[in-house]
């Protein structure tokens, strides 16, 4: 594979400079309206549906997705799009089950939501769990993937790549909070769609169209549902294991849900969640199809993870390679910027304001949030550099596995809290402490101590996630039935009565249309 750096011209450098100037201009303009305190983190409850949808998508679409989806498309076809298309069911749960409760209680963070129901101890446990999760799964792995790609393109050292990238992303989270990050991400995601669509168009043109592509690839490349004997994506693992990760990822993760908490009202939040579900349909033509096209144009790659870079290096015309660098910066700034804002929100609201300085002024709250952004930037750089020292790392598999092992305690705790009134603090705290130790210890054994490549007794990691979810759910039910509610819960049982708004006609119509389209897509690609 030739280096893009060798093909860069003055036009490419101009494209990058113009993009950076436009990015900074949008950031400066959007941050002119100063907000302090909670408004800094939630954009003053001013986000409309398209801002929410684009911002959630930007949080979700990181450099690892560009690498991973193209890699999986190259080796197995479209089956991995289940990780985006199957999500519409769990985004619907967020819209109709979780979001109405989050917004009705007026919380700023998800640990605060659990704290109102079960007390400050639960809030603190979940806050620290969320901070560690965001630092590792969002910031460090995402930053490493971005640095890995930039290193491939520019040939610079990893520490230089990650330092520059996290500084750019941190700038917007530091200065303007969620409002600035959301405005930036609208611009970023429109740019991502345009450039990715152009790459797909170039590839299909070279092959001779979609019909020619389908004729030159195996039939199973175009099937969403694989047989139970498939070693990588058996249908039962996706059907049973993926929901655990999806509920935790889309319904209980502060980085994903924060945009919804900043909505103007519930309707805008529900429409924004619907919008990201529509955007996720684009994963097939924009990301996975790139890898499938590469398998035809450049078969026999020694490392399938080079599929994306192979496509852009060989297909993009001279003078437009700067667009590739721009898109990589865009997806990284989107993911890291949103994650940094969420990290600072949780620490400031659930740790600093709750335990360190309850009487802090709005100015002090904002300042602590900004200091947290700086610390988050530094910590994520060091962890990303540590990840770079691990040899033989398959980023996509490790990321999906880690999410699968982090997810069960969160999924069980929030589902029980929302769906069962009998659930008590003892059950939730047990799930978040013992459950976290059990899940993470299983993950460490699976990934490092007794790796699956060496020890064949392991089931699929999605089935492990489902097994952990089931075990923790049974434990949570048993504790709730055997242990009485705490004094805090008895004293506050009336204050947590939530009146849920019914979905508007617009919300119902948007979700009905989405369900029809998704069912049709699954029928077509079954």
Q: How far apart are the first and last CA of the chain?
A: 35
Q: What pLDDT shows up at residue 252?
A: 94
Nearest to 145 by CA among 402, 398, 376: 398
Instruction: Specify whether the CB–CB gap between 322 and 8 falls below 8 A.
Output: yes
What count of Cα atoms within 13 Å lies in the side-chain half-sphere of residue 521?
21
461: nearest Cα among 452, 448, 470, 474: 452
Query: What does the pLDDT average to over 313-331?
Result: 76
Q: Which of 400, 380, 399 is nearest to 147 (CA)?
A: 380
Reported pTM: 0.86
pLDDT at 513 over 90: yes
pLDDT of residue 37: 46
Domain extent, residue 128, equals: 4-31+40-525
How many domains in the chain? 1
- Range of weakest confidence among 25-29, 293-297, 319-323: 25-29
pLDDT of residue 270: 97
The CA–CA distances, whole Å, from 338 to 181, 291, 331 equal 6, 27, 11
Residue 31's pLDDT band, with cuts at 50, 70 and 90, is: low
| Helices of type H across 208-265 | 210-215, 235-246, 254-261
Cα dihedral 197, 201, 202, 203 sign: positive
Secondary structure class of 457 (helix, strand, coil): coil
Of 20-29, 162-171, 502-511, the least confident: 162-171
Res 302 pLDDT > 70: yes
pLDDT digits (tens, 9 = 90+) for 435-481: 999 998 998 888 778 877 788 888 988 999 999 999 999 999 999 99
| CA torsion through residues 407, 410, 416, 419, sign | negative
pLDDT of residue 323: 76
Count the neighbouring beta carbons within 10 Å of the beta carbon of residue 154.
Answer: 16
Least confident of 91-100, 149-158, 297-306: 149-158
Query: Which CATH number belongs to the domain containing residue 510 in this structure?
Result: 1.20.1730.10
Higher pLDDT, 487 or 377: 487
- What is the reported pLDDT for 503? 93
Cα–Cα–Cα angle for 41, 342, 476, rounded to 5 degrees = 120
**Percentage, residues of the chain above pLDDT 70:** 85
Average pLDDT over residues 265-274: 96
Question: Per residue in 446-459, is it b (16+ CB within 10 Å) or e — as a string?
Answer: bbeeeebeeeeebe
Whole-angstrom Cα distance, residue 248 to residue 415?
10
Name the band, by pLDDT with cuts 50, 70 and 90, for residue 483: very high
Return d(Cα 31, Cα 183) in angstroms, integer. 9
Q: Estimate to the nearest angstrom the gap between the alpha carbon of 400 and the chain centroid.
A: 11
Which tens digit of pLDDT belongs to each residue from 45-99?
Answer: 778 999 999 888 877 876 667 777 888 899 999 998 998 999 999 999 999 999 9
CA distances from 442 to 150, 408, 434, 435, 458 (A): 33, 12, 12, 11, 11
């Amino acid at each position: 594979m030739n280096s893009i750096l060798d093909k860069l011209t003055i036009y490419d450098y101009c494209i990058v400079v113009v993009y950076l100037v436009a990015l900074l201009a949008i950031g400066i303009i959007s941050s002119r309206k100063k907000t302090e305190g909670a408004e800094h983190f939630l954009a003053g409850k001013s986000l409309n549906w398209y801002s929410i949808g684009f911002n959630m998508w930007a949080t979700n679409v990181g450099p690892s997705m560009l690498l991973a989806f193209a890699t999986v498309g190259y080796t197995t076809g479209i089956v991995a799009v289940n990780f985006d298309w199957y999500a519409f069911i769990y985004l619907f749960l967020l819209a109709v089950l979780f979001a109405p409760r989050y917004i009705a209680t007026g919380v700023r963070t998800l640990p605060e939501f659990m704290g109102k129901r079960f007390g400050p101890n639960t809030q603190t446990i979940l806050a620290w769990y969320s901070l560690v999760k965001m630092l590792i799964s969002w910031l460090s792995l995402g930053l490493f993937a971005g640095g890995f790609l930039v290193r491939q393109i520019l040939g610079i050292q990893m520490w230089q790549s990650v330092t520059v990238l996290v500084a750019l992303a941190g700038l917007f989270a530091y200065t303007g909070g969620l409002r600035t990050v959301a405005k930036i991400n609208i611009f970023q995601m429109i740019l991502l769609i345009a450039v990715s669509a152009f790459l797909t168009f170039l590839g299909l043109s070279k092959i001779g169209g979609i019909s020619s592509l389908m004729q030159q690839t195996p039939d199973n490349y175009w099937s969403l549902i694989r047989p139970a004997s498939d070693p990588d994506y058996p249908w039962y693992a996706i059907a049973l294991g993926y929901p655990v990760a999806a509920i935790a990822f889309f319904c209980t993760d502060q980085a994903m849900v924060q945009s919804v908490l900043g909505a103007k009202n519930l309707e805008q939040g529900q429409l924004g969640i619907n919008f990201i579900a529509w955007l996720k349909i684009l994963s097939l033509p924009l990301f996975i199809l790139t890898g499938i096209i590469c398998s035809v144009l450049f078969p026999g790659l020694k490392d399938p993870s080079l599929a994306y870079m192979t496509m852009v290096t060989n297909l993009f015309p001279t003078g437009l390679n700067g667009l590739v660098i721009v898109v990589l910066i865009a997806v990284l700034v989107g993911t890291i910027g949103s994650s940094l804002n969420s990290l600072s929100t949780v620490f400031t609201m659930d740790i600093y304001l709750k335990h360190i300085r309850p009487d802090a002024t709005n100015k002090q709250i904002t300042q602590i949030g900004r200091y947290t952004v700086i610390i988050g930037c530094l910590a994520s750089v060091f962890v990303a550099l540590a990840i770079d020292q691990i040899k033989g790392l398959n980023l996509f598999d490790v990321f999906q596995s880690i999410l699968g092992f982090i997810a069960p305690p969160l999924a069980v705790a929030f589902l029980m809290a929302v769906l069962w009134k009998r659930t008590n603090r003892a059950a939730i705290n047990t799930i978040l402490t013992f459950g976290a130790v059990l899940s993470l210890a299983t993950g460490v054994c699976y990934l490092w101590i007794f790796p699956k490549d060496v020890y064949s007794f392991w089931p699929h990691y999605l089935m492990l996630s489902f097994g952990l979810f089931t075990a923790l759910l049974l434990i949570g039910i048993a504790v709730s039935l055997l242990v009485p509610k705490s004094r805090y819960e008895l004293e506050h049982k009336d204050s947590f009565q939530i009146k849920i708004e019914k979905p508007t006609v617009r919300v119902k119509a948007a979700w009905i249309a989405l369900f029809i389209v998704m069912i049709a897509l699954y029928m077509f690609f079954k």
